Chains A and B, each alone.
Chain A
Amino acid sequence: MELTSWGRYPRIVASGEHFETREQLKRQMDRDGDLIAYGMGRSYGDSALNQRVVFSRRFNKILHFNPETGLVACESGVSLQELISVFLPQGWFLSVTPGTRLITVGGAIASDVHGKNHHVAGCFSTSVDSFELMLPGGDVVLCSREENERLFRATCGGMGLTGIILTAVIRLQKVKSAFIRETVKQCRNLEEIFNCFEKYETLPYSVAWIDCLESGEKMGRSVLMAGEHADTGSLDMDFNQPVSIPFDFPGFCLNRYSVKLFNRLYYHTRSSFVENRLVPLDPFFYPLDSIGHWNRIYGKGGFTQYQLVLPKTASYEGLKSILDRIAKQGLGSFLAVLKLCGPANDNDLSFPMQGYSLALDLKIEKRLFPFLNELDRIVIDYGGRLYLTKDVRMSKDVFRKGYPLWETFAELRETMGMKEKFNSLQSRRLEV
């Protein structure tokens, strides 16, 4: 079958099997050759791709819930959407959620995803009490901060390269309503948006859309969206039925001019300042989930997301130099997102660090990769790194420089036989 992930680049021919029980998974593992877990394929690049994959989506049973503590035990194929629809009506919401609800719990752990509240809540792993991991030989071990802590730190953010996550116990947060109190603020340039992030740091959620085609005075023009859970409003929520993009857009639809036009419209149709308006939680966290197959906008050739993070002290200088190059290249991106992250955790390969993260969706085209190689150099020079779950092209060197714990991680893979059993196109490219 043809297999790809959200960026639809690359597309490979692969074989894949579902599993519904441990026994079935064990049988698949016993066969020769390496494999990788595949959740809902919402990673953009090649981290879930391999000649052989195991699909976790059918391993999706919710096993236990404690309404006193908000601890839920479930299998790794359960989606965040399922958790929200079951527990939000009871007053519980995810402690950490990325910008899409269409991912699995296994994928959330393996990428150690972050959300708009990273600066106060950390990564997804912060809300993980424990999980069970199937190792190369088929043995299942429980990993937590107390037990097999080494495996816990390697697996959270480990991109599926330490084993198959089977079940997890995660902690939900108590909420009073399915609404968010949102503040929206236009910022004219990079300096303004940096100040704004600092100003709203006490709010649990914040993120900004940023226009990457502006330069000079207007460089870094953006719209900050911040918020907190409301304490009024009902707990009921209907997910909007997505409207779907029915076919691939022709490649020429997306160019410097259309993106510029979109960005102008986007910026100028926002009110310059709105404080504390009540908005439903679904469009606040998951604006893109209301458009099915939106990745088709980028055409048949696919796209990628370039997400970088820079240490806080270097963020202003670094971002200026990066934005400058992007504007000059005219590689506009409809979706460019800026976020102030909180401190890094101690997992081997988790992405966030204290500082600013910038994410750009970019259509795959000939000039793209050489250009991104240039950006890589800036990112590394300023002490930053790239997000593995979005990556499809970074070099081994860029990876090693960005993730100083790579060697410890690689050693663990070597000694525990993971290197023979679990591989993705990404792990081969990064030689990890």
Chain B
Amino acid sequence: MNLLVLGANSDVAYAVAAAFARHEKASILLASRNMELLEKKVQDLTIRYGVEVSCCYFDVTDFESHSAFYESLQKKPDVVVYSAGYMPEQQEDAQKNYKEAQKIFAINFSGAAAMLEVVAADFEKQGHGTIIGISSVAGERGRQSNYIYGSSKAAFNSYLSGMRNRLCKRGVHVMTVLPGFIHTKMTESLELPELLTAQPEEVAEDIYRAFRKKKNIIYTKWFWRWIMAVIKGIPEAVFKRMGL
């Protein structure tokens, strides 16, 4: 199996790559921006799991490069994981500086959409393949503290759902991953509730299991399905007064 990881320097992405290496002995291509980090991860995953790993530069906000990037791949992937993400502080950064908001949208949504369209075209032609999009429970309902990031994830959710609808007829599977809190560098400066926060390795195992079972949408960890059901069930008239 060939696995392509986009935004491979994400902590979740690294754990997902490790899970596919361990369980599937997959050959892995790590694509992201920070090459120093990627090169270390290549060594590391190769030694830990005895699989073939390589890396290359990829910037999802460089829309022009997407096609050429995909064409340059020696081996076309069977599974693509999209894990790049960006979540700056909202009140001081994203609300006051539209460039930050644009960046959020480009990395979490529009760049992802443009890039995955290139992948989809190839998979559709091949008649097989799996696309795993890592989104967020934040996309399920906008909250005052994080609605810019949340809406980028909401857009990504709709996008993945439509693409699943389109590609399932062609033997291509699309999976949406909705994580809750995870201990990663993205959330390092936040005080997260320990009981609700997963380690990247736990999320990666959930993702791998769901991949095997060809799930469409998964919450990770599992209890977020119920937490979100409650949050989505609150009437808007009440919700708008809350301080979430």
Binds B, one of A59-67, A197-205, A230-238, A296-304: A59-67
A-B CB contact pairs (8 Å), 11 listed? A18-B185, A20-B37, A23-B36, A58-B11, A61-B40, A61-B43, A61-B44, A63-B40, A65-B47, A75-B40, A86-B48
Give A21 Cβ to nearest chain B Cβ, in Å: 6
**Alpha-carbon separation in the docked complex, A18 to B37 (Å):** 14
A58 near B48: Cβ-Cβ < 8 Å:
no
A17 within 8 A of B: yes
Number of interface residues of A (CB under 8 A): 15
- CB-contacts of B56-97 with A (<8 A): none
A1 within 8 A of B: yes
- CB-contacts of A207-230 with B (<8 A): none
**Alpha-carbon separation in the docked complex, A75 to B40 (Å):** 10
Residues from chain A with Cβ under 8 Å of B37 in the complex: 20-21
Binary CB contact string for chain B from 32 to 50 against chain A (1 if under 8 A, 0 otherwise): 0010110011011001100
- CB-contacts of B171-207 with A (<8 A): 185, 188, 191
**Alpha-carbon separation in the docked complex, A1 to B189 (Å):** 10
Q: Can you add 6 more A-B contacts, CB < 8 Å, to A17-B188, A61-B41?
A: A21-B36, A58-B185, A62-B43, A63-B43, A65-B47, A86-B48
Number of interface residues of B (CB under 8 A): 13
**Alpha-carbon separation in the docked complex, A22 to B53 (Å):** 23
CB within 8 Å for A86 and B47 given contacts A20-B37, A61-B41: yes
**Alpha-carbon separation in the docked complex, A384 to B223 (Å):** 54
Q: Which of A23, A61, A63 has the most CB of B within 10 A?
A: A61
Residues from chain A with Cβ under 8 Å of B44 in the complex: 61-63
Binary CB contact string for chain B from 153 to 185 against chain A (1 if under 8 A, 0 otherwise): 000000000000000000000000000000001
**Alpha-carbon separation in the docked complex, A240 to B143 (Å):** 41
Which residues in A have some Cβ–Cβ distance to B below 8 Å? 1, 17-18, 20-21, 23, 58, 61-65, 75, 82, 86
**Alpha-carbon separation in the docked complex, A58 to B200 (Å):** 12
Give B222 Cβ to nearest chain A Cβ, in Å: 18
Give B208 Cβ to nearest chain A Cβ, in Å: 18
Give A206 Cβ to nearest chain B Cβ, in Å: 32
Residues from chain B with Cβ under 8 Å of A61 in the complex: 40-41, 43-44
Closest chain A residue to B42, Cβ basis: A61
**Alpha-carbon separation in the docked complex, A192 to B40 (Å):** 52
A62 near B47: Cβ-Cβ < 8 Å:
yes
- Given B11, B41, B191, which contacts A1 in the complex, CB threshold below 8 Å? B191
**Alpha-carbon separation in the docked complex, A82 to B11 (Å):** 17
Give B203 Cβ to nearest chain A Cβ, in Å: 16
**Alpha-carbon separation in the docked complex, A17 to B11 (Å):** 15
Residues from chain A with Cβ under 8 Å of B185 in the complex: 18, 20, 58
- CB-contacts of B1-38 with A (<8 A): 11, 34, 36-37
Closest chain B residue to A73, Cβ basis: B43
**Alpha-carbon separation in the docked complex, A65 to B43 (Å):** 10
Residues from chain B with Cβ under 8 Å of A20 in the complex: 37, 185
Across the A-B interface, the 4 shortest Cβ-Cβ residue pairs = A61-B44, A61-B40, A62-B47, A62-B44
**Alpha-carbon separation in the docked complex, A23 to B47 (Å):** 24
B191 near A64: Cβ-Cβ < 8 Å:
no
**Alpha-carbon separation in the docked complex, A56 to B101 (Å):** 32
**Alpha-carbon separation in the docked complex, A149 to B103 (Å):** 49
B48 near A62: Cβ-Cβ < 8 Å:
yes
**Alpha-carbon separation in the docked complex, A91 to B1 (Å):** 28
Closest chain B residue to A23, Cβ basis: B36
Residues from chain A with Cβ under 8 Å of B11 in the complex: 58
Residues from chain B with Cβ under 8 Å of A23 in the complex: 36
Closest chain B residue to A63, Cβ basis: B43
B188 near A64: Cβ-Cβ < 8 Å:
no
Residues from chain B with Cβ under 8 Å of A62 in the complex: 43-44, 47-48
**Alpha-carbon separation in the docked complex, A64 to B34 (Å):** 20
**Alpha-carbon separation in the docked complex, A289 to B40 (Å):** 29
Closest chain B residue to A1, Cβ basis: B191
Residues from chain A with Cβ under 8 Å of B40 in the complex: 61, 63, 75
Closest chain A residue to B11, Cβ basis: A58
A18 near B47: Cβ-Cβ < 8 Å:
no
Closest chain B residue to A86, Cβ basis: B48
**Alpha-carbon separation in the docked complex, A65 to B40 (Å):** 13
Give A303 Cβ to nearest chain B Cβ, in Å: 22
Residues from chain B with Cβ under 8 Å of A64 in the complex: 43, 47
Residues from chain A with Cβ under 8 Å of B188 in the complex: 17-18
**Alpha-carbon separation in the docked complex, A318 to B37 (Å):** 52
Residues from chain B with Cβ under 8 Å of A82 in the complex: 48
Give A93 Cβ to nearest chain B Cβ, in Å: 16
Closest chain B residue to A85, Cβ basis: B48
**Alpha-carbon separation in the docked complex, A1 to B187 (Å):** 14
**Alpha-carbon separation in the docked complex, A135 to B36 (Å):** 21
**Alpha-carbon separation in the docked complex, A266 to B93 (Å):** 60
Give A335 Cβ to nearest chain B Cβ, in Å: 27
Residues from chain B with Cβ under 8 Å of A21 in the complex: 34, 36-37
